[in-house]
Amino acid sequence: MKKVMAAVMLSMIWSAVTVAAGTEYRMRVDGLACPYCAYGIEKKLKEIEGVGKIDVDLNAGLVIVDVAEGTSLTEPQMKTLFQDAGFTYRSMTEKSLDESAKHE
Amino acid sequence: MNPDCGRLTLHGVSTLVALMTGSVVIGTGSAWSAPITFNTALPVAKNEFLVREQFIINRSSDDPISLNRDRTAKAAVSVLGYGVNGKLALFGVLPYRDNELKLTVAGQRIKRSASGFGDLTVFGRYTVVQRDQPGRNFRIAPFAGIKAPTGDDDKRDATGVLPPSVQVGSGSWDPLLGVVSTYQTLDYQIDGQISYQINNEANNFEAGDVARLDGSLQYRLWPRTLGGGVPAFFYGVIEANLIYQQKNQVNSQSNPDSGGTRLFLTPGIQYVTRRWIAETAIQVPVVQNLNGDALENDYIARVSVRFNF
């Protein structure tokens, strides 16, 4: 039983480390003005391997994406993705999820 | 049956068929927060599908002549939209119709009816102007398509072949074209559309061409103040539909009891989430300047749902 508990704990720690080592991208997107906009964008982002949590903030015009370590999002890739969804990509900032966690 | 009655039935009510058809074709657009009775210029994402199912009841019973015509046209209209890319979207529209016409002939009340799948319409819409800003966008998108004669246009009952006003299909290939424009913000959305449908001859009958000018305002009633994330929106909707139809032709003769101008005011409500939209509206005729003894509309009621896939 102790071995099982230890394995579960290790697994949880490993998962946390994996996510924490990833990257958070904050993208400014123009044209987002209704709830229906969000779904198509989320769907397109989820098609990218390594993409985890996606938050859309309509009021701020922001799309926030967490990706796993080893995955990176590029500006040309995002320009095309948002163009295909019918919107206009403007800019992107990125920071380590480790760094994000420290600020929380 | 009094032949005059047949002529009046054929001529006077057929206008409604064309109006209803035009309304179905043009009014089944994209699945954003969007107008309820016509299309929008908002995009369909590349390789994505959307589906809309709209239920329509069109009642007309205010007959100016002694036939006491009473027509009810019900339709369940299925729409499939597909995004070829961020600018080009293709749509297919297939109605299932249930038409019923009651009238008094020689002192007797008779009923003529038909039901079945109607004419399939396909059209493409391309965004030529796109201006995106934070929390708002503006688009202009022309569209063009054709209505194919897939519905039955030769249904019969015990009295004989049903008039065009009761048939579920028109029998003709009818092209349509137009331009739609949308200005959308987080608080409200304005859409405008101008369109024209050319109706062609089939079975010695040609419905008059239909020109439409539509406008829509959707105003966010809830949430009153926007916070973060993606909340569902509840919109109040008011639309106006100005519809002009030329006179019909029967055996190449113009029918004086057909065509004219209608103006509808259309209040409605709309609930918009990330995956689906539910909405309802009622088109109330405020002006009906119709030719001769054409039958006037009482109302057109619509309920619809739309889904993103």
pLDDT at B88 over 70: yes
Better-predicted residue by pLDDT, B11 or B183: B183
Q: Which domains are delineated in chain A?
A: 2-103 (3.30.70.100)
pLDDT in tens, B4-61: 344 334 444 444 444 444 444 444 444 456 899 999 999 999 999 999 999 999 999 9
* Chain A residues touching residue B229 (CB < 8 angstroms): 55-58
Q: Reduce the secondary structure of A23-89 to three states and give it as a string.
A: EEEEEEEECCCCHHHHHHHHHHHHCCCCEEEEEEECCCCEEEEEECCCCCCCHHHHHHHHHHHCCEE
CATH superfamily, region B3-308 = monomeric porin ompg (2.40.160.40)
pLDDT score of B166: 96
Give the Cα separation of A103 and A53 in Å (integer).
Answer: 18
By residue count, chain B amounts to 309
Contacts of A10 (CB under 8 A, 6+ apart): none
Chain B interface with A: residues with Cβ < 8 Å:
31-33, 42-48, 83, 85-87, 127, 130, 132-137, 184-186, 189, 226-233, 272-275, 277, 308
Q: Do A88 and B130 touch (CB under 8 A)?
A: yes
Q: What is the count of residue pairs from A and B with beta carbons less than 8 Å apart?
A: 100
In contact, B236 and B272? CB cutoff 8 Å = no
Could you tell me which residues of chain A have a Cβ less than 8 Å from any Cβ in chain B?
Answer: 28, 30-44, 55-61, 83-88
The Cα B88–Cα B207 span in angstroms is 30
ipTM greater than 0.85: no
**Segment B103-134, tens digit of pLDDT:** 999 999 999 999 999 999 999 999 999 999 99
Q: Do A33 and B184 touch (CB under 8 A)?
A: yes
- CA of B225 vs chain A CAs: smallest distance (Å): 10
**Residue A58 is nearest to which of B47, B127, B226, comparing CB atoms?**
B226
Decide: B17 and B164 in contact? Cβ < 8 Å.
yes
- Are B137 and A31 in contact (CB < 8 Å)? yes
Which pLDDT score, from 0 to 100, does residue B15 have? 45
Distance separating alpha carbons of residues B228 and A54, to the nearest angstrom? 13
pTM over 0.95: no
